[in-house]
Chains A and B, each alone.
Chain A
Amino acid sequence: MTSIQMPQLGETIVEGTILKWLKREGDAVARDEPLFEISTDKVDTEVPSPVAGTVTKILVDEGATVPVGTALMEISEAGAAASGDAAASGDAAASGDAAASGDGATSSGDAAASGDAASSPASGAAPTTEPTPEPSGGAASSEGSSAAPPPAAVTPPAAPAVPAAPAAPVAPAAAASVPAAVATVPDRGPRSQILSPLVRRLAKEHDLDLAQIAGTGSGGRITKADVMAVISSGGQVAPATAGATAPVTAPAQPMPAPSAGIGEEIVPVSHIRRAIAEHMLASTQTSARAWTMVEVNVDHLVKLRERIKATFQERYGLKITYLPMVVRATVDALLEYPDVNARLDGDNIVRHRFVNMGIAVSYDAGLIVPVIKGADGMNTIGVARAIADLAARARSHQLRPDEVQGATFTITNPGPYGSVASVPIINQPNVGILSFDAIVKRPVVIDDAIAIRSMVNISMSWDHRVIDGEAATRFLARVKENLETWDFAEDLGV
């Protein structure tokens, strides 16, 4: 059993994201066949299998970001070994080797270094390559392939003796065959002969033989510090164990895989979740958020909806909800108060003469804000259709890129879940976001009498950099007035 871990593609890389599994549990894999794709900062890569065998277990979901060294997949080599595949048994030797060399963190380094040793006789063009002190068994890992061993970190199998034992007789033959498997093109790893121009210049100026300098950089590369150490010691080449003058850089320790405590569950952060987090945090760090709320009497809208919902459904094939009415009322207020329908661009406030209304929609992956383009040109039926269409396609992941950008204002609608007041975070670069919460029956005072009415709180988080409390409140008062006084029956065509 070989455990495949998140490989470390560079010393400073601490985590990677699984973009895609290319193999499923039960799939057979050949050695060097891509297993999955990962993404780290600016680099994406396929990760090839270090062994031939069968995928027995996938341990991490697609989209998960995990620390380097996290176990991702298990591959059973039994199937391939049983088929008598010589290459496969050679591979088994390689993994046995890694197991013998110690813990998981260093085994990948050892496997890679042994590849270096194997390739150095092949790369005649690389005279400065330092012999890598690896057990000869390591050379067997490159048997049958001039390609270097893959970098996927290999966890020692639980019982290394099992795969190693049958492979042992193969090893000498494999080692002998290495010189024959001459690579036509030498590998170009970050080995000692790859030198920065600075190092080359320093060495030349001080007439140093670089082949005699022990490199402490990644992959044994000679760094400026190595050369400087030699120069400062009077040109005396330091012994290979140059630890005294330049500490050997230890391979970065992979972060431990997260482990769940008792009563805990580990859930990796999805790409969407992370994008939302960044977006929200950036907004709070950018805007000067203030918040205002108005109470709206929507008694007549509740009655209207009760009266028309069957007809509306029949006529338009849609359920009528309050949200399209709120959108219409808000669009009107935005056109009246253009500073709310705007964005801040450096020293300028850009007012939009149209309304692209963002509607926050929750779906399985998180939150997305599809945009009703040109909402100012729609009646309530048009808005209702647009919302139904965008929400359905958002939830089935069918939105096109241009349908989630360009909002000039945003409405969020947590009411169905029961909230009566919310303080949303502004959807940048909008000036405001309006929250439409739950409609509840409440006792209200009307003309010095107490009456029961359907009431709703409508509130707005707004950016004090662009507008002030007066504009925000006047804007909300306009939304309130529209909702309380408009007769939507005609607009709804029923």
Chain B
Amino acid sequence: MPLPAWLIRPGTVPYDVANAAMHRLAERRLADEIPDTVILLEHPPVFTAGRRAKVDELLWSPDEVEARGGLVRMIDRGGSFTFHGPGQLVGYPILGLGSRPDAVDYLRRLEEAVIGICADVGVASDRRADVQTGVWVGDDKICAIGVRLMRARVTLHGFALNCETDLSWFRGIVACGLPDRGQTSISAQLGRRVDVSDVLPLAERHLAEVFDLSFEPAPDEIVTAFQVADAV
């Protein structure tokens, strides 16, 4: 029987606002004050560096990133550098993994959900166990995954699926620490525009299925945390 869970779809949210709100939700999930919650959103352009990012994997200087209208943020998830920006569906599941957390199993499920989303729009994607966590179309990554566990049992951060992302942004980084791998998007694969709003309902369905959740809208006071426009 699916567990009730909250779904938050706040649209485009500045990275710092979403990151702070996500951490607060995870604290509350940890304290069992809220149910499992999934946030599906977009960010303005931002490069985020996980704890394993290396100093030379940001290929553009901070000034150059700023000149292009982007930000650089060092954050607390696993993995290396990645990019978020318009046209990319970002998902932050805040899930309690229970008493015997299996982080690898969680990553595999995230991948399963994304592969399902891609299949629904007609893109054949797969895991690349030989390369890295994430979802791939051949040698190109279509969805980056990087997560953190709070107290080893509540998930933070998540996945970033390129729908119609401007992939030229990825030239600014060695994405995920892999210099020889490319990036792709659903739109690039299909040769037609598929935007985030097309993919959102599919993401909702596949995440619900893979994690056995039954989504309901989150209460207003939870959602408004993602709508503080000037808190950057």
Contacts and interface: CB of A to CB of B under 8 A. Distances in A.
A190 B102 contact: yes
B96 A187 contact: yes
Contact of A185 (B34, B105, B107): B34
Interface in B46-100: 50-52, 54-56, 58-62, 76-79, 95-100
A67 to B, nearest CB: 16
A163 interface: no
A202 B120 CA distance: 21
B102 A127 contact: no
B153 A150 contact: yes
A7 interface: yes
Interface string B166-205: 0000000000000000000000000000000000000000
Interface stretch (A52-60, A376-384, A401-409, A412-420): A401-409
Q: Which 5 A-B pairs have the closest CB atoms?
A: A189-B98, A10-B104, A148-B99, A115-B99, A45-B149
Interface stretch (B17-25, B209-217, B223-231): B209-217
A113 B100 contact: yes
Contacts of B78: 39-44
A62 to B, nearest CB: 12
Interface string A391-429: 000000001111011100000000000000000000000
A45 B107 CA distance: 14
Contacts of B101: 9, 151, 189-190
B107 A43 contact: yes
B39 interface: no
Contacts, number: 174
A83 interface: no
Contacts of A115: 98-100
Nearest to B133: A42
A46 B32 contact: no
10 contacts: A112-B100, A115-B99, A148-B153, A150-B152, A151-B152, A188-B96, A190-B97, A190-B98, A190-B100, A402-B60
Nearest to A44: B78
B105 A197 contact: no
Interface in B118-170: 132-133, 145-153
Interface residues of B, number: 55
Given A150-B153, A190-B97, A275-B54, A9 B102 contact: yes
Name A's interface SS.
Answer: loop
Interface of B: 1, 3-4, 29-36, 50-52, 54-56, 58-62, 76-79, 95-107, 112, 132-133, 145-153, 209-212
Instruction: Give chain A's interface residue range (CB within 8 Å of chain B).
Output: 35 or more
A185 B152 contact: no
A47 interface: yes
Nearest to A369: B56
Nearest to B98: A189
A193 interface: yes
A112 B210 CA distance: 23
B157 to A, nearest CB: 9
Given A112-B100, A185-B96, A405-B59, 12 more contacts: A11-B104, A39-B51, A41-B133, A42-B147, A44-B149, A47-B151, A115-B98, A115-B100, A147-B30, A190-B102, A196-B112, A399-B55
